[in-house]
Amino acid sequence: MHRIVVVAVPPVTAFDLSIPELIFTPVEAGGQPAYDIRVCTAEPGILRSGGAFDVSVHRGLEAVAEADTVMVTGGAGREDVPPAVLTALREAAAAGKRIASICTGAFVLAEAGLLEGRRATTYWAKSDVFRRRYPAVRLEPDVLFVEDGPVLTSAGLAAGIDLCLHMIRSDHGAAAANEVARLAVVAPVRPGGQAQFIETPLPAETGISLTETRAWALQRLDQQLTLTDLARHAHNSVRTLTRRFRDETGLSPLQWLLHQRIIRARELLESTDLPMDVVAARSGLGSADSLRQHLVRRVGLTPTAYRRSFTRLSEHQEPVIR
């Protein structure tokens, strides 16, 4: 079982603090829970939150030493981080543990010196403050999450869900992560490079969302869909379709299609023993060579290595969802 210890630094954001428990808990491996989630803080007891209620945390920072992954969630104030928290995080990093943050939790990691020289992100509204305070960090303020070696950071609120789904996908494969996304009724795993701040996240009341067109495309990933095909289905010009796609998803139509095809290929590699050229064809990636190039670029593994690592055909490795 992989133990995740969440470090709460008051004033906490209750939504951020609840994300790891909600997202990681449903996953099982070999009939057992895949993750053990624990929350700790520097001074156990009642913690201030940024909302209308406080939060009770009973574990102290000694829990960090028992973690495989340490996460710091967001909060309203990050100017005065308890020294004990910084020490615990430095020791965890030195011990080789995976370190992650949600939202303004990145300020805590930066204060501990864990982001110096690394790529990182945080909540976009705090990016200017972050950049001034930590100029040695290679801040990427426009993305959902960043993975730089063993350190992962996410943008605000819902991007923390994306980060946790990404971690599940890395640990147990795309199918497990997507099933958790379905249970949580959130979008399937989104790429970390997707824009975190979308100017028009919802269509105007008089407009029509492209949801139906995206669903139509998902049923036809094995076909050679063009911008013209998508525009025709949406009853838009190609130019209008491209603009609206970016408004609603933060991606161009072709970027979105490629991301969905890679997800489909990963699921097929995990759950079937189909030959590589068939996997490539059914996911719309064309050839086995194209499948290999995209998978190596996206996850750093060849299709054969990915299947060996994440296959769901073995009863000993199959991740399931409670």
**Catalytic amino acids?**
103
Burial class (CB in 10 A: 0-12, 13-18, 19+), 202: exposed
How far apart (Å, rounded) are the C-alpha atoms in residues 47 and 19? 17
How far apart (Å, rounded) are the C-alpha atoms in residues 78 and 282? 48
Taking the alpha carbons of 38, 44, 45, 49 in that order, is the dihedral positive or negative? negative
Retrieve residue 230's tokens.
């998508």
Give Cα 141 distance to the centre of its chain. Answer: 15
Residue length, the chain? 322
CA nearest neighbour of 187 among 251, 130, 127, 129: 251
